[in-house]
Amino acid sequence: MRMPMIAGNWKMNTTVGEAIELVNEMRSRLDEIDNVDKVICPPFISLATVKELIKGSSIKLGAQNIYFEEKGAYTGEISPLMLTELCEFVIIGHSERRQYFNETDEIINKKGQSALKVGLKPILCIGERLEQNEAGLTAEVVTKQLRSALVGIDDLSKMIIAYEPIWAIGTGRAATGKQANNTIGFIRQTISQLYDKGIAQNVRILYGGSVTAANASDFVQQYEIDGALVGGASLKTNEFLSIVRLTSEIKGSLRG
């Protein structure tokens, strides 16, 4: 049985003060919701503070990026090793990093390997652009991204995958539950070919792209979808709480 997960990607939002406020607002209500992993990913500068604020709660912490080297003369970068003291997860391969910071599949693969080496759990994002989707290339694109990202990685037990169609991110135009379920089913099949069926059945795969309280149930009621990577809606307390609560309830009732 795969544990559902809702991860909030705050992106480049919130000052430290605002992060404190947001965590204080959601902490106790979020903590009450069971049977779903609740992860928040604030900016680097707030990680240490937020870590203290969520101490003793069931809320987990993630970072939004890393550099793949362990340490050295890389001005401005943060290494996986540094993050191990602060958080459990790290988002890698987000389409915004691929698009604005020229991250290639090779770089993302290095980031994944270096995160796993120190015990950080990567949330690996893959997804196609609108024109690729319209040209029927979704399967081909996600397969290529997945294969490249997983080169040299033998153990998937610490890896989470997020299918995030780029055309759905921040646009208010989410995929449908069915569409996302199909692609995620396909991703699972690819993992089954690359590893084996058992590994593919155990790896958690999230959907991301304009997930809100209004459409979350459409995604989490799908068999292949284990939860969501939430951007904009993760900055709104009630919205985020609703998504987490819905996920816990729906996945719970599907389990029977």
- Give the active site residue among 94, 96, 128, 224: 94
Query: Least distance from C-beta 124 to ligand PGA, angstroms?
Result: 12
Please say if 239 is a catalytic residue: no
Backbone angles phi, psi at 44, to 5 degrees: -45, -45
Sign of the torsion formed by the C-alpha atoms of 236, 237, 238 and 242: positive
Please say if 25 is a catalytic residue: no
- Closer of 209 and 227 to ligand PGA (Cβ): 209
- Closer of 42 and 209 to ligand PGA (Cβ): 209
- Closer of 33 and 216 to ligand PGA (Cβ): 216
Query: Least distance from C-beta 209 to ligand PGA, angstroms?
Result: 5
- Give the active site residue among 103, 164, 224, 239: 164
Query: Least distance from C-beta 192 to ligand PGA, angstroms?
Result: 25
Other Cβ atoms closer than 10 A to 9 = 26
Q: State the residues that interact with ligand PGA by CB under 6 A.
A: 9, 164, 169-170, 208-211, 229-233
- Closer of 170 and 253 to ligand PGA (Cβ): 170
**Interhelix angle 44-53/16-31, nearest 10 degrees:** 40
90 CB-near residues (< 8 Å, 6+ apart):
62, 63, 64, 65, 66, 80, 83, 115, 120, 121, 122, 123
- The residue sitting closest to ligand PGA, measured at its beta carbon, is 231
Query: Least distance from C-beta 256 to ligand PGA, angstroms?
Result: 30
The catalytic residue positions are 94, 164
